[in-house]
């Protein structure tokens, strides 16, 4: 990544999962499927010089509504935050395929490191 990638004092981390605790007023029009209390996962730009306080290791993460992926109710937070496939999903996968992917690839018991 090189030294230019680092932002001194910035919060790091890209993959996140958590509960929605606050939403901007316009999100309801853009994403009517999301609401306070819903579990979402996705990616943020950690160590971002333009927004150094927003990384996945922050207590609260700010995410554009179109990048938040609503998790199925039967997917726990540990599995949601360890989904590396989200990078491919957000890079161009059709959003309708995520639920089939999650159910197919995360029904087997696996050991995972969650940070």
Structure tokens at 86: 């989200």
- Expressed as residue numbers, the domain containing 53 is 3-105
Would you state the pLDDT for residue 108? 55
Note whether residue 115 is domain-resident.
Answer: no
Is the four-CA dihedral 108, 109, 110, 114 of positive or negative sign? positive
Angstrom CA distances, 96 to 25, 56, 70, 89, 115, stand at: 25, 24, 11, 10, 27
Q: Which residues contact 102 (CB under 8 A, 6 or more apart)?
A: 71, 72, 75, 79, 83
Note whether residue 113 is domain-resident.
Answer: no
Would you state the pLDDT for residue 36? 95
Q: Which residues contact 52 (CB under 8 A, 6 or more apart)?
A: 7, 9, 10, 11
- Residue 79 pLDDT level (bands cut at 50, 70, 90): confident
The candidate with the shortest Cα–Cα distance to 43, out of 85, 96, 72, 105, is 85
Would you state the pLDDT for residue 32? 93
For 83-96, write each residue's pLDDT tens digit: 655 555 555 444 45
Note whether residue 13 is domain-resident.
Answer: yes
Note whether residue 112 is domain-resident.
Answer: no
Distance CA 107, CA 115 (A): 21
pLDDT, average across residues 4-21: 85
Would you state the pLDDT for residue 9? 87
User: Percent of the chain having pLDDT more than 70?
Assistant: 67
Note whether residue 68 is domain-resident.
Answer: yes
Note whether residue 45 is domain-resident.
Answer: yes
pLDDT, average across residues 6-33: 90
- Residue 100 pLDDT level (bands cut at 50, 70, 90): low
Note whether residue 62 is domain-resident.
Answer: yes
User: Does the structure show a pLDDT above 90 at 111?
Assistant: no
pLDDT, average across residues 14-36: 92
Note whether residue 110 is domain-resident.
Answer: no
What SS3 state is found at 57?
Answer: coil
| Sheet order of strands, 69-70 included | 15-19, 39-43, 69-70
Would you state the pLDDT for residue 89? 58
CATH of residue 16: 3.90.180.10
Number of domains composing the chain: 1
């Amino acid at each position: 990544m090189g030294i230019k990638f680092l932002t001194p004092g910035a919060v790091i981390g890209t993959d996140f999962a958590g509960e929605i605790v606050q939403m901007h007023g316009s999100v309801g029009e853009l994403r009517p499927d999301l609401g306070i209390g819903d579990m979402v996962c996705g990616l943020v730009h950690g160590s971002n010089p333009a927004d150094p306080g927003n990384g996945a290791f922050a207590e609260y993460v700010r995410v554009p509504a179109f990048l938040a992926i609503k998790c199925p109710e039967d997917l726990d937070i540990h599995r949601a935050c360890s989904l590396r496939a989200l990078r491919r999903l957000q890079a161009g996968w059709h959003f309708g395929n995520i639920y089939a992917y999650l159910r197919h690839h995360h029904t087997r018991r696996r050991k995972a490191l969650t940070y």
